[in-house]
Amino acid sequence: DTEVTQTPKHLVMGMTNKKSLKCEQHMGHRAMYWYKQKAKKPPELMFVYSYEKLSINESVPSRFSPECPNSSLLNLHLHALQPEDSALYLCASSREGLASGNTIYFGEGSWLTVV
Amino acid sequence: RKEVEQDPGPFNVPEGATVAFNCTYSNSASQSFFWYRQDCRKEPKLLMSVYSSGNEDGRFTAQLNRASQYISLLIRDSKLSDSATYLCVVKGFGNQGGKLIFGQGTELSVKP
């Protein structure tokens, strides 16, 4: 069972809504990640936080806004999304940050549907 | 050329079969390699890391050939529960060290 907890598991939102996805880990990991996965495709990296600082932004549209309030929490704020943003959003964490070979552990994901 | 390429699949095999998945990566400086397993509508889970000397975990054997930039996964005595998508994953290095690069995945279906 994963030790990376994501809420909510399912979210349906309209294109004008503002919502947030939340992720929490208590493994003392210092790197946290957001991935997006569409059906039958591999996960695509969105953001990486290392020691609570944004380290990688894979040119993600500004309607997705990450936030790392502390080393255990990672949020993804959503605003003015499009139906094509509907996907599984996966949070992940690893012990150290960049330039390490540490294993990355995924949460169960949040299924997002934009209507 | 994709950074990580895998056999397209799907692989449909009978129980007890041996099946091999292949993967190639384009960046010769890559340092860390993994096989992840993903069940339908679930998150990816680490199956095993891949080491230069090759490594085995029960029925699963992973091999790495750095010269050929090639990774493999061998599953012996397939079980029904092995049915899943297997993702070849390469981890970036340096400033991109936090980036997992996924292959497209190979779907395995083990039949009775």
Each residue's pLDDT tens digit, B33-55: 999 999 999 999 999 999 888 89
Buried b (16+ CB within 10 A) or exposed e, A4-30: bebeeeebebeeeeebebbbbbeeebb
- Which residues from B are below 8 Å from A99, CB to CB? 93-95, 97
- What pLDDT shows up at residue A49? 93
At residue B8 the predicted structure's pLDDT band, cuts being 50, 70 and 90, is confident
pLDDT category, A100, cuts 50, 70, 90? low
A2-43 residue pLDDT tens: 699 999 999 999 999 999 999 999 999 999 999 999 998 999
CB proximity B46 to A under 8 Å: yes
Contacts of A103 in chain B (CB under 8 A): 34, 46, 49
pLDDT of residue B51: 87
B23 pLDDT above the threshold of 60: yes
The verdict on a CB contact (< 8 Å) between B46 and A56 is no
3-state secondary structure chain B: CCCEEECCCCEEEECCCCEEEEEEECCCCCCEEEEEEECCCCCEEEEEEECCCCEEECCEEEEEECCCCEEEEEECCCCHHHCEEEEEEEECCHHHCCCEEECCCEEEEEEC
pLDDT band at B93 (very low <50, low <70, confident <90, very high): low
- Residue B68 token pair: 């050929």
Among A residues 40-79, those touching chain B with beta carbons less than 8 Å apart: 41-45, 48, 50, 55-56
Half-sphere exposure of B41 (CA within 13 A, CB side): 4
Per DSSP bridges, beta strands B84-91 and B32-38 are antiparallel
- Reduced to 3 states (helix: H, G, I; strand: E, B; else coil), residue A67 is strand
pLDDT of amino acid B94:
58
Give contacts of B 81-110 with A, CB under 8 A: 87, 91, 93-100, 102-105
Q: Check whether A94 has a pLDDT greater than 80.
A: yes
Structure token digits, residue B38: 């993903």
